[in-house]
């Protein structure tokens, strides 16, 4: 890798302001620069124009408005107005108004050039407005560019879409840029074409271009633009003259066939303009050619990448008599140049994205052509009429490879490379226990939708557009999907043909303002029984947290829907006191309720005939987090902490909160729960879990590790002594795939690498696939580096093309999308083995991540020696104090291993330019480097500050949990039970364990592993150490708990314990669990006093011992002991596995109160089944109709068999 001078003077703002040279530009930023460039060109030409941008956000154009707002000073200075509209059709109508300005005698500017933007479904929605706008036309010095965001792969849309066919139907010309660099050239071309022809000009922005970023040579763009000729030159070259009444917007222009006739004249003008100012290019010339390839848009780069991988140069194509022609104007195609290209050709292969837009135009063009210029046309279909190129999926080089290789081999023996295709195609992956593990998009920690999308038992909800759609895969009785703005209208008709009396319809406040208001009006007009749950989250979270496009709050919505005639309005909010104080601002009859009353309110509303509205108000968690970081919202006043010793691992906190910040932690006593403080957004719904382990710490802040400043200095000093890795970037591309979990900085890592390469004057591209914007989902960042532009074709890393994979998360790293990019003996993988739970954990507290199986998938894909591992979160927590920078640790590790071929100086400068937590990220980078280059140094550094050994955190792979030796396990449980009660109590435990061990030893070899003894040793201790009031008090007053709090928080520990004591808490009127009460730190010393009362446990003086729960716990101990002793005389080798399963059943009986009783019901039923299998004569088959089903009540809370079933899975109940 040659040394190149670092661009030390480069600033991030250069992407919009640099007049020349190379800039690093994303597709979204290119749209901003585009309007600035047009304003500069007009100013230089002496035109007093203004610019106007309007549209509606939506992936892949979800960040356009944020980019425009960020560039507001530049736009204002250039005379460009940005007006984000409330929906796409009104944005298009506003754009039409800008083309009226040039004919306005009172205009304040000469004319207005405009840019409209919207994602594919928005193009469809705005179709009427766009069709009218194109028909009535642009102004001569204005012009309109229509940017359509097409998500061909349906990555973050309700369905995949392709907008160019609709534009063609409106007689709107369509430009198809192939990459970000072409955005500038094609955009400027579009306005020039619009001004000449009177058309609005379409511009397709595919996900793989607009969501990518790359090195752009501005000088090359300017050189091409400078070659365009004016209207007079076009007239002289083509003879084209506009019709007498012109092509542009005029008034009067009343409805008549003349408008339609003018559309044809406009397309003639487009062809004339394109003939002289061609944006099409001949890529491969061949004098005696007999075949040709026509490409369009991004598909051109995919094809060129196929040639590169197959080792076919442009000269080899020319020598074989094959021409290649790249279209920039996808519709209408310019015929003169195409006819010249096709002269002498026998066959043309059309390579384009998705549907055959160009292919059909060529078929029409050549159908009546004279002999010698009538080639056969192949594309989506071959000349034999069979399917050839992909039409229903995204175009990729690997998907083109086989049909193109076959086509070339048929034409020329010298171009036959079919034997190479398998090494560039998708391949078989290892199948194992981790096949079902996937990183599914999920609500952010603290997301309002965790609560708001719940429905009462017996009801169902309908989904809509927005983050809340994810409730569809969360066992929340939520289904259906409709276009944006149609929410609930499908039920208007459905309700007339079903026995279901009522549904809830989820509707985001952004969608309400966009178009959902009309849906409510329709439901009211139809007298439909439906409750609209309008989710007022104060931000459009799905596309980045933008504000709703207009004045909108709970009061305004309540007044609007009431004016439309809804039967009732209810407000559910944390700000009930505020709203009640402004009751006069709400319509009469509005009721106000705290979040805890959501279920009861919904039960009331579903009984009200007609349309009702529930306004659920809670700020988007991700937006609130951003506001807190920027100081626009106060920092949280308290932190939530779980006493792991008290926690039973039942998962009810996850049931109540549905929160990803509640994570599993493996302990010697089994899986418990902990709060990931780095991701917690302080919603505190988890505290409602029916469990006494929760405390809140008020006034304290998260604590950095002891000696943090000293450790940070030492990290950088130690890392500076490391040897830099050998260069790995050759002339060809070096492809790095960074993958991980949404919201953890995966995109940042990719951006840092690409920017570092740009700073070294190399070329780079990065493409981010995020799908939903929320935490929990898989994020992939494709980073491609090269010495020159010719080596980088498409932005996506294709099948078997990755040189390095930075798997910041095992589950994402082992997903098929990632593994297909891995090539044996080529790809090197750095895998973070930290076991971050998947969404399944929210439903099933015993979910297994299968980390060893995930790693096996990676190892199988890359081959022997192709993988390095580390626990980045553990390293970050130990040395940096939290997990925020864990992915930067992975980056540092990979860089030190030589897998990120940029200089350390460039990477450091990229971090500085990013400007976010610079010092912390540089420390994380140094930490990762040390973990890779000198883990012994980390061990020494950790030992000096009492941290875990670095070598223990840089492991070759996640080792399977090693079982504690049985004697040690028994000794630990004896100590636990002695502390729990006394030595005599522990002796009871020892007696049963020894009896089981003797019986198992009697089986000889079959009992050698002592699986039954281990099961009894673990589970009998679990039963005996049930957590009653004495034990909870003992564990909360244990000095170890106080020390754990001190290690996690700084400042005074003002604690609040969240408990539901039977004497003070009562269940709700619908059988809801009792609400917990917060007790202050004054309870702490009382707990120590209560803990000493354990001597009363089980005696007649025990004030707590007569409750149903305590009686059940004591009876369970006796039943288990008797059951195990009864099994021992009949124990055989064949019966041993069943006996082990019976002995392990208490592991499923976890939790407190009704949670525990429900789990006990399930375990009891399972025990009856297993006992019958163990000895059918002694234990009759259980009668399912009359067997144990757990029916009844506990503290007034109904316990049903359904509750017991869901209690095991962790599903809402």
Domain extent listing, the chain: 22-275, 280-424, 449-619, 638-698+1029-1097, 708-953
Predicted structure pTM score:
0.92
Q: Let me know if 786 is exposed, middle or buried by CB neighbors in 10 A (0-12, 13-18, 19+).
A: buried
Distance of CA 796 to the CA centre of its chain: 18
CATH number of 280-424: 3.40.50.920
Whether the Cβ atoms of residue 1206 and residue 1151 lie closer than 8 Å to each other: no
Which residue, 100, 148, 99, is CA-closest to 127?
148
Q: Which two tokens stand for residue 67?
A: 């980019």
Rounded to an integer, what distance in angstroms lies between the CA atom of residue 622 and that of residue 662?
16
DSSP 3-state assignment of 641? strand
666 forms bridges with which residues in the sheet? 671
The whole-number mean pLDDT for each consecutive block of 10 residues of the chain, a chain of 1213 residues, reads 77 95 97 98 98 96 95 98 96 98 98 98 97 98 98 86 97 98 98 98 97 96 94 95 94 90 96 97 95 98 97 97 98 96 96 97 93 90 94 93 96 96 92 92 90 95 92 90 94 98 96 95 98 89 66 92 98 93 94 95 98 95 86 88 96 92 92 91 93 93 70 86 85 93 93 97 93 72 94 95 97 96 96 91 88 95 93 91 92 97 96 94 96 90 60 51 85 97 97 97 91 97 96 96 90 90 75 86 92 93 90 96 96 96 96 93 95 93 56 52 37 29
Cα–Cα distances in Å, from 188 out to 64, 185, 742, 1124? 18, 5, 35, 82
Phi-psi category of residue 904: left, alpha or beta, with phi > 0 → left and psi -120 to 50 → alpha: alpha
The secondary structure of 333-363 as a DSSP string is PPHHHHHHHHTT-SEEEEE-SSS-HHHHHHH
Rounded to an integer, what distance in angstroms lies between the CA atom of residue 567 and that of residue 492?
16
Which residue, 589, 678, 695, is CA-closest to 686?
695
DSSP 3-state assignment of 86? coil
- Fold of domain 708-953: Pyruvate-ferredoxin Oxidoreductase; domain 3 (3.40.920)
Radius of gyration of the chain (CA): 34
Fill in the DSSP letter of residue 87.
S
Phi, psi of 326 (to 5 degrees): -105, 125
Which residue, 239, 315, 353, 226, is CA-closest to 277?
226
8 forms bridges with which residues in the sheet? none
Cα–Cα distances in Å, from 194 out to 16, 47, 140, 255? 24, 16, 8, 22
What top-level class would CATH report for the domain 449-619?
A: alpha beta
What top-level class would CATH report for the domain 22-275?
A: alpha beta
Cα–Cα distances in Å, from 839 out to 395, 660, 896? 31, 8, 33
The per-residue pLDDT for 743 is 85
Whether the Cβ atoms of residue 454 and residue 657 lie closer than 8 Å to each other: no
Phi, psi of 1049 (to 5 degrees): -130, 150
Alpha helices in 7-140 (DSSP H): 14-17, 27-44, 64-70, 72-78, 88-98, 120-125, 127-136
Domains 280-424 and 708-953 share a fold: no
Q: Which two tokens stand for residue 1107?
A: 């409750």
Strands (E), 637-731: 638-642, 662-667, 670-675, 694-698, 701-702
Rounded to an integer, what distance in angstroms lies between the CA atom of residue 1034 and that of residue 635?
33
Long-range contacts formed by 8-16: CB under 8 A, 24+ apart? 8/909, 10/758, 10/759, 10/913, 11/913, 12/913, 16/71, 16/74
Rounded to an integer, what distance in angstroms lies between the CA atom of residue 359 and that of residue 389?
11
The per-residue pLDDT for 956 is 44
Torsion of Cα atoms, 849 then 852 then 855 then 856, to 10°? -120
Which residue, 983, 1084, 1082, is CA-closest to 1033?
1084
């Amino acid at each position: 890798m040659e040394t190149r001078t670092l661009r030390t003077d480069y600033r991030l703002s250069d992407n919009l302001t640099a007049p020349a040279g190379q800039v690093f530009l994303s597709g979204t930023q290119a749209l901003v620069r585009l309007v600035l460039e047009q304003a500069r060109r007009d100013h230089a030409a002496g035109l007093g124009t203004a610019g106007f941008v309007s549209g509606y956000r939506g992936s892949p154009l979800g960040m356009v408005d944020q980019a425009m707002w960020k560039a507001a000073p530049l736009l204002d200075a250039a005379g460009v107005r940005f007006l984000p509209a409330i929906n796409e059709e009104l944005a298009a109508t506003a754009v039409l108004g800008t083309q009226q300005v040039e004919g306005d005698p009172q205009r304040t500017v000469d004319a207005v050039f405009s840019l409209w933007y919207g994602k594919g479904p928005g193009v469809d929605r705005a179709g009427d407005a766009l069709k009218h706008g194109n028909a009535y036309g642009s102004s001569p010095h204005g012009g309109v560019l229509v940017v359509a965001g097409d998500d061909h792969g349906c990555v973050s849309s309700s369905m995949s879409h392709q907008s160019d066919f609709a534009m063609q139907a409106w007689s709107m010309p369509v430009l198809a840029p192939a990459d970000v660099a072409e955005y500038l050239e094609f955009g400027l071309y579009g306005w020039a074409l619009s001004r000449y022809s009177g058309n609005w000009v379409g511009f397709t922005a595919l996900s793989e271009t607009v969501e990518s970023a790359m090195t752009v040579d501005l000088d090359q763009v300017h050189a091409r633009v400078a070659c365009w000729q004016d209207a007079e030159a076009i007239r002289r070259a083509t003879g084209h003259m506009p019709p007498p009444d012109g092509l542009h917007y005029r008034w009067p222009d009343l409805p008549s066939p003349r408008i339609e006739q003018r559309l044809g004249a406009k397309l003639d003008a487009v062809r004339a303009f394109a003939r002289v100012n061609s944006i099409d290019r001949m890529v491969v010339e061949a004098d005696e050619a007999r075949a040709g390839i026509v490409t369009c848009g991004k598909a051109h780069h995919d094809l060129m990448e196929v040639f590169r991988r197959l080792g076919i140069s442009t000269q080899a194509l020319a020598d074989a008599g094959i021409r290649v022609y790249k279209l920039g104007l996808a519709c209408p195609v310019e015929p003169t140049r195409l006819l010249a290209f096709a002269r002498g050709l026998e066959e043309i292969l059309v390579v384009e994205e998705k549907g055959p837009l160009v292919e059909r135009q060529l078929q029409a063009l050549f159908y009546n052509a004279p002999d010698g210029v009538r080639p056969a046309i192949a594309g989506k279909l071959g000349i034999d009429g069979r399917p050839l190129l992909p039409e229903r999926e995204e175009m990729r080089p690997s998907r083109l490879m086989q049909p193109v290789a076959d086509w070339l081999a048929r034409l020329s023996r010298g171009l036959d490379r079919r034997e190479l295709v398998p090494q560039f195609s998708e391949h078989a992956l290892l199948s194992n226990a981790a096949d079902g593990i996937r990183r599914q998009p999920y609500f952010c920690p603290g997301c309002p939708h965790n609560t708001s999308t719940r429905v009462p038992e017996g009801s169902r909800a309908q989904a809509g557009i927005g983050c809340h759609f994810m409730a569809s895969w969360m066992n929340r009785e939520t289904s259906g999907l409709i276009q944006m703005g149609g929410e609930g209208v499908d039920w208007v008709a459905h309700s007339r043909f079903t026995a279901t009396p009522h549904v809830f319809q989820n509707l985001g406040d952004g969608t309400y303002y966009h178009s959902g208001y009309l849906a409510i009006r329709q439901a009211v007009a139809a007298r439909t029984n439906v409750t609209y749950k309008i989710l007022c989250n104060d931000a459009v979270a799905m596309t980045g947290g933008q504000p709703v496009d207009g004045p909108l709050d709970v009061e305004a919505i309540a007044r609007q829907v009431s004016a439309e005639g809804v039967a009732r309005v209810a407000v559910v909010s944390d700000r009930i006191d505020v709203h009640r104080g402004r009751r006069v601002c709400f319509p009469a009859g509005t009721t106000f309720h705290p979040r805890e009353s959501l279920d009861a309110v919904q039960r009331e509303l579903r009984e009200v005939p007609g349309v009702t509205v529930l306004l659920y108000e809670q700020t988007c968690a991700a937006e609130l987090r951003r506001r807190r970081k920027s100081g626009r919202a106060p920092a949280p006043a308290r932190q939530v902490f779980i006493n792991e010793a008290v926690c039973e691992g039942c998962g009810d906190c996850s049931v109540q909160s549905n929160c990803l910040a509640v994570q599993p932690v493996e302990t010697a006593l089994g899986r418990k729960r902990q709060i990931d403080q780095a991701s917690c957004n302080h919603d505190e719904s988890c505290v409602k879990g029916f469990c006494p382990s929760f405390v809140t710490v008020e006034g304290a802040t998260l604590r950095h590790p002891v000696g943090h400043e000293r450790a940070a200095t030492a990290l950088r000093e130690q890392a500076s002594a490391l040897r830099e890795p050998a260069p790995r970037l050759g002339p060809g591309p070096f492809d790095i795939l960074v993958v991980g979990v949404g919201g953890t900085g995966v995109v940042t890592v990719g951006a840092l690498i690409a920017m570092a390469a740009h700073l070294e004057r190399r070329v780079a591209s990065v493409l981010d696939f995020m799908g939903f914007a929320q935490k929990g989902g898989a994020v992939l960042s494709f980073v491609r580096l090269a010495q020159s532009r010719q080596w980088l074709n498409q932005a996506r890393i294709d099948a078997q093309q990755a040189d390095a994979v930075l798997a910041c998360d095992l589950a994402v790293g082992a997903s098929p999308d990632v593994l297909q990019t891995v090539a044996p003996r080529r790809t090197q993988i750095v895998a973070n083995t930290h076991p971050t739970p998947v969404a399944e954990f929210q439903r099933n507290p015993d979910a297994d991540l299968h980390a060893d199986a995930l790693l096996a998938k990676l190892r199988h894909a890359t081959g022997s020696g192709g993988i390095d591992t580390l626990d980045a979160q553990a390293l970050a927590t130990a040395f940096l104090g939290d997990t925020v920078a864990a992915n930067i640790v992975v980056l540092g590790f990979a860089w030190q291993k030589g897998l990120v071929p940029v200089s350390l100086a460039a990477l450091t400068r990229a971090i500085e330019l990013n400007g976010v937590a610079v010092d912390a990220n540089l420390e994380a980078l140094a930490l990762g480097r040390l973990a890779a280059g000198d883990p012994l140094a980390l061990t020494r550094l950790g030992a000096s500050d009492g941290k875990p050994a670095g070598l223990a955190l840089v492991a070759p792979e996640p080792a399977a949990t090693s079982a504690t030796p049985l004697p040690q396990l028994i000794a630990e449980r004896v100590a636990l039970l002695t502390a729990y009660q006394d030595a005599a109590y522990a002796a009871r435990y020892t007696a049963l364990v020894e009896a089981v061990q003797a019986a198992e030893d009697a089986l000889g070899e079959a009992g050698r592993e002592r699986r039954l003894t281990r099961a009894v040793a673990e589970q009998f201790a679990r039963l005996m150490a049930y957590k009653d009031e004495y034990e909870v008090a003992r564990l909360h007053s244990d000095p170890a708990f106080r020390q754990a709090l001190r290690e996690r928080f700084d400042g005074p520990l003002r604690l609040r314990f969240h408990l539901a004591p039977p004497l003070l808490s009562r269940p709700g009127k619908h059988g809801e669990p009792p609400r917990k009460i917060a007790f202050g730190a004054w309870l702490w010393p009382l707990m120590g006093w209560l803990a000493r009362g354990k001597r009363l446990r089980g005696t007649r003086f025990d004030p707590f011992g007569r409750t149903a729960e305590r009686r059940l716990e004591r009876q369970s101990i006796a039943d288990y002991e008797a059951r195990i002793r009864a099994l021992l005389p009949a124990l055989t080798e064949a019966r041993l596995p069943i006996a082990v399963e019976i002995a392990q059943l208490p592991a499923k009986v976890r939790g407190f109160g009704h949670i525990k009783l429900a789990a006990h019901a399930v375990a009891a039923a399972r025990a009856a089944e297993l006992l019958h299998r163990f000895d059918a004569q002694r234990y009759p088959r259980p009668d399912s109709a009359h067997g144990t089903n757990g029916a009844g009540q506990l503290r007034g809370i109904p316990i049903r068999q359904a509750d017991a079933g869901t209690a095991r899975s962790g599903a809402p109940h």
